A and B are shown apart, each in its own frame.
Chain A
């Protein structure tokens, strides 16, 4: 027989909270599948849409940065160079943009049912990953067209993806909490990410940033993700250790986001 004590202070241990989140993984999964179906299966273009999106983005950036400005990308042709950055950035901004308003958008569910609220954000991982995957397929095609060779380091790709997901989730979790207090935050954050893309080495290699400005990239975990992703894909030398600063920051923010969620979770209904 289950026995539960409901009291003002939700004294649940971190361990059992994580356990609870895990128990509700099916719920997240269902939400994700629903979202994917809504987004893809019921539209005319379907999954093709996200492929086209990445291609159009790539064409524009190729024109501007590859042909007009002629950014030096070494031996790697510009489209092959730029696409990994673009799909990483798309996934990141998807996670941030879609999870920041998730609490206010799911008010009807939150007001009617208990589930770990964090699972709403976790449900965003899968739909974004699908787009990321299709973008990666496009990359593979372009990769083969330009005849760049594979390398054994590709085995580390999942690791990069996991770090990327953590980055997106962390920002998403924090903005979703803070947007309970500042309603327009989720709008602001979309503008901020639109700006952030330019201080992230999406269109250019991080190495072209002068040494004394490099710290801006170091503080930006997505910069690190993209740099490592490229290094792995092209089998080039790993970026300098400065990027680890960003990862350190994001890990701290991630853990603290989970702890904050655990603490204020029950209050969320009243804050909505």
Chain B
């Protein structure tokens, strides 16, 4: 039964009562309807998920992503509405949930399997497969607390996959662990995808999983506001989140000397030399709006003063919001025995930065690229994009690559 629905959600809502521990007494808690205010973690969600589909559930914090998953996992009941689930569900709201560090890998396979409702017989019949997939048969009798994080996860996933559920629910599993862990987890989910299971993944870093998903849904304040292919949903998500933060961020398009001097960190003794960044500005030169568009020219303007007996470099480091370096650009500055005041414009041509959030650093290094002074996390800037010309979410920057297309036509004139 390949086609058909896996999950049908109808008018699903979840209402939470605000807990006020200082005022609510015993009897208030018994009758939550009569006390305190309530809010909706989920409001009237309607969604159908097809068999074999991979769905990404995205949204900012408090959007209701995890609540939705918890309801599907039957951990918490809905307040109204209903969910129809066709098939066996395995909810992985945490990797290695229920693992006992004191027990061996072998014993944990049984514990975990039983947690997912398997009988001893069922586990035994899958044991060889699980251990084979785990890939460290020599360690199967070692206590799990001695495992590396990679082994731990491999064990968890080899159990999960062998549960042979029809529907898998993953909650934020990609946000724990380092990037190596993330990469491994993604690979494991890819494997799972090949088994034609239905998969729901909750994440706030949609860029990592968009290639896995057939569809993404965007939740905002408990409502399902977008339900399309991953590309469009991510763009919508970024629009929504940059709108929310626009007031806060726009102020940071200009950073003054006070803020900058607080950020300044010297890594070595300057030996009589000095460098002071006086201000940092980022703007579109041809229009005066507070928002910054990536499809127009962008100027980063720096004012600084320095005294130095050596030539040095001023480096502008652009990172994404998770601190991953995206682009660096630098300017060579000549030595000067007297105090120099400099105004430096770094001009990014139009369509070089894609719509996303960027974090700016200014670093000073000597000519051997040894960092001397750092101004970290000067400002966060949301770059927007007014036209739909380029796929804005596909990466952070746009490199002007030339396409050379040559078409070979065969004799009949049909293109191959």
Interface residues of A (CB under 8 A from B): 1-8, 10, 23-24, 26-27, 29-31, 33-34, 37-38, 42, 108-115, 181-182, 266-267, 269-271
Residue of B with least CB distance to A28: B114
The smallest C-beta distance from B177 to any residue of chain A, in angstroms, reads 17
Interface flags for B79-93 (1: CB within 8 Å of A; 0: not) read 111111111110101
Q: 18 A-B pairs, CB-CB below 8 angstroms?
A: A1-B1, A2-B85, A6-B74, A7-B81, A7-B83, A10-B77, A26-B110, A26-B118, A26-B119, A27-B117, A34-B103, A109-B97, A109-B98, A112-B73, A112-B94, A113-B73, A113-B75, A113-B91
B83 touches A6 (CB 8 A): yes
- Say yes or no: B29 contacts A181, CB within 8 Å: yes
A10: nearest chain-B partner, CB-CB: B77
Complexed CA–CA distance, A4 and B8 (Å): 11
- Which B residues lie within 8 Å of A270 (CB)? 16, 76
> Which of A38, A111, A182 has the largest count of B CB atoms less than 10 A from its CB?
A111
In the complex, A31 Cα to B99 Cα: how many Å? 10
Whether the pair A30, B110 counts as a contact (CB closer than 8 A) is yes
Q: What are the residues of chain A within 8 A of B84 when measuring CB–CB?
A: 3-6
Taking A114-B73, A181-B30 as contacts, is the C-beta distance between A6 and B117 under 8 angstroms? no
Residues of B within 8 A of A2 (CB): 85-88, 166
Q: Are A34 and B94 in contact (CB-based, < 8 A)?
A: no
For residue A9, give the distance in angstroms from its CB to the closest CB of chain B: 8
Q: For the complex, what is the distance from the CA of A8 to the CA of B11, rounded to whole Å?
A: 12
Interface centre among A37, A114, A271 (most CB of B within 10 A): A114
Q: Which residue of chain A has its CB nearest to the CB of B113?
A: A26
Which bracket fits the contact residues of B? 35 or more
Map CB proximity to A onto B46-76 as digits: 1 under 8 Å, 0 otherwise.
0000000000000000000000001111111
Contact A112 B78 (CB under 8 A): no
A110 touches B75 (CB 8 A): yes
**Is A42 touching B97 in the complex (CB atoms < 8 A)?**
no
Bound-state Cα–Cα, A27 to B112, Å: 8
A6 pairs with B86, CB closer than 8 A? no
Given contacts A110-B75, A111-B75, A269-B76, contact A5 B83 (CB under 8 A): yes
Beyond A1-B86, A29-B114, A112-B97, list 9 extra A-B contacts (CB 8 Å).
A2-B86, A5-B84, A6-B84, A7-B81, A30-B110, A30-B115, A111-B70, A112-B94, A113-B98
Residues of B contacting A182 in the complex (Cβ-Cβ under 8 angstroms): 26
Whether A266 contacts B111 in the complex (CB less than 8 A), given A109-B97, A181-B30, comes out as no
Contacts A114-B91, A181-B30 hold; do A6 and B114 have CB atoms under 8 A apart?
no
Q: How far is the CA of A108 from the CA of B120 in the complex (A)?
A: 24
Residues of the A chain whose Cβ atoms lie less than 8 Å from the Cβ of B70: 111, 269
**In the assembled complex, how far is the CB of residue B84 from the closest CB belonging to chain A, in whole angstroms?**
6
Write the nearest CB–CB distance from B108 to chain A, whole angstroms. Answer: 9
B114 lies within 8 A of A27 (CB): yes
Which residues of B approach A to under 8 Å, CB–CB? Answer: 1, 16, 26, 29-30, 70-89, 91, 93-94, 97-98, 100, 102-103, 107, 110-111, 114-115, 117-120, 166
Contact A30:B78 (CB < 8 A) given known A113-B91, A113-B97, A181-B30: no
Distance, CA A38 to CA B86, complexed state (A): 39
7 closest pairs, A vs B, by CB? A266-B77, A26-B114, A114-B74, A6-B83, A112-B93, A30-B111, A269-B76
Q: Tell me how far the C-beta of B65 lies from the nearest C-beta in chain A, rounded to whole angstroms.
A: 15
Of the candidates A29, A111, A271, the one whose C-beta lies within 8 Å of that of B93 is A111
Query: Least Cβ distance of B97 to chain A in Å?
Result: 5
Nearest B residue to A270 via CB reads B76
Question: Which of A23, A31, A270 has the most chain B CB atoms closer than 10 A to its own CB?
Answer: A270
Docked CA distance A119–B91 (Å): 19
Chain B contacts for A266, CB-based, 8 A: 74, 76-77
Residues of B within 8 A of A27 (CB): 114-115, 117
Once the chains are docked, how many angstroms separate the CA of A42 from the CA of B102? Answer: 9
Known: A37-B102, A266-B77. A24 touches B97 (CB 8 A): no
B298 shortest CB reach to chain A, Å? 45
What is the minimal beta-carbon distance from A186 to any residue of chain B, in angstroms?
Answer: 15
Residue ID in chain B nearest A265 by CB atoms? B77
Contact among B82, B88, B117 for A23, CB-based, below 8 A = B117
* Residue contact B30 to A4, C-beta cutoff 8 Å: no
| Most chain B beta carbons < 10 A, residue from A23, A26, A267, A271 | A26
Q: Which of B82, B91, B100 contacts A6 (CB 8 A)?
A: B82
Residue of A nearest to B76 (CB): A269
Given A29-B114, A269-B76, also A112-B103 (CB < 8 A): no
| B111 and A34 contact, CB distance less than 8 A | yes
Cα(A197)–Cα(B29), bound, Å? 32
